[in-house]
Amino acid sequence: MSVRMTLMPVLGAGVIRALGASWRIRTGGEEHLAAARRHSPFLIFAFWHDRLLPLVHAYRGRRAAILASQHADGELLGRTLQRLGYGHVRGSSTRGGARAVMELVNVIRGGQDIGITVDGPRGPRHVVKPGAVQIARITGSAIIPFTSASRHHKTFASWDRFQLPYPGTRVMLRYGTPVVVPADAGDAMLEAKCLEVGSILDRITQEADRDVGA
């Protein structure tokens, strides 16, 4: 194993913990999370790739697994997530996708939540891919849109315009209306559910941005 693969997850997890401890965090839409829990005990958290970091900090240490890509950066992310107490499954819409879907199905059936960057790992930005709704159809678990916003942050020149909140800034976490996918959903309904998840994520992300004055 390379030095980079050994050290970077340790450093990354440490940075996330330190930053997270400094953020002034508020949460909105918790009634939607409660409604989703009433529907199904284990949930599919859906979020945009660029808003990932505060969500990873907020949910750490709970029984949850996150999908990480099979690219090299996915390996780094997976090892960092492990340092923060998460499980992780490797795969994406283009590499190992079908296997990853079934692994995540098994994670839910084994009694854990899962998290998916629904536009990852390489975009297009803010376009929902079908993995989350396929898992929801198979398991009956609700999808809970989840997002973050920060008052002051660095925006990277990456495909997703990834946001890194600065130390001490205001951070807003917001849940959206749960999305349920019927077991008999066909292709047209699966596509409609992808659009629904994306629409909710866009709306709550805009609301969170307004909450912090971003």
Total count of domains within the chain: 1
Secondary structure of residue 143 in the 3-state scheme: strand
Place of tokens 């999908």: 67
Residue 111 has a pLDDT of 95
pTM higher than 0.95: no
Reading the chain (214 residues) residue by residue, the pLDDT tens digits are 566 677 888 999 999 999 999 999 999 999 999 999 999 999 999 999 999 999 999 988 788 898 876 665 667 877 888 888 888 776 664 455 688 899 999 999 999 999 999 998 888 999 999 999 999 999 999 999 999 999 999 999 999 999 999 999 999 999 999 999 999 999 999 999 999 999 999 999 999 999 999 8
Residue 96 has a pLDDT of 53
What's the domain range around 55? 3-212
90 alpha carbon, distance to own chain's centre: 14
Residues of the chain by 3-state class (helix, strand, coil), percent to 5: 45, 20, 30
Question: Do 52 and 191 form a contact (C-beta atoms < 8 A)?
Answer: no
| Distance of alpha carbon 89 from alpha carbon 9, whole angstroms | 16
**What is the CATH classification number for the domain harbouring 117?**
3.40.1130.10
